[in-house]
Amino acid sequence: MDHKLMGIARRAKKRQSAESTLGFTEQLGQFLRRNLNWFLAIALALLLLQDIFGTHGVLSMRHSQQEAAGIRKKIDELDSENQKLQDRVKSLKTDPASIEKIAREEMGLARPGEFIFKIPPRPGDSTLTAPQNNDPQTKR
């Protein structure tokens, strides 16, 4: 067993003396060749981390896709509301019944010979509520 240890010690001493006679660039080249697998593994790990957590990584892309889906949903809702408003404008321009309905309900107008009786809502009736005053000076 001592022979083995002595052989290892001799080889290490030869390597050390050989390395001391080599130049810096040659020593660096040997170091890189010996540890190439470790450098490649570290580089691969860094690339994976960048692909997952980076600015343009998987997590960032998923977040952007969720934002885009939310914006698409909002656009669809606005398109639907816009279509309803366009239909209402068209009916107000062409349908006399819708114009008459607005004149009667919102403006309180009546045809000649008709009378309008406004009945106050019953207390506790939740379907007919009086308009609330939103003036901040009256709330003091």
List all residues 6 or more positions away from 116 whose beta carbon is below 8 Å from its beta carbon. 108, 110
The reported pTM is 0.46
- 121: which 2 tokens? 């809502």
Can you tell me the mean pLDDT for 15-44? 84
Tens-digit pLDDT profile for residues 67-117: 999 999 999 999 999 999 999 999 989 988 888 888 888 888 888 888 878
Answer yes or no: is pLDDT of 130 > 60: no
DSSP states along 83-100? HHHHHHHHHHHH-HHHHH
Pick from 116, 90, 120, 121: nearest CA to 105: 116
Residue 4 contacts residue 11 (beta carbons within 8 Å):
no
Q: Is 124 left (phi over 0), alpha (psi -120 to 50) or beta?
A: left
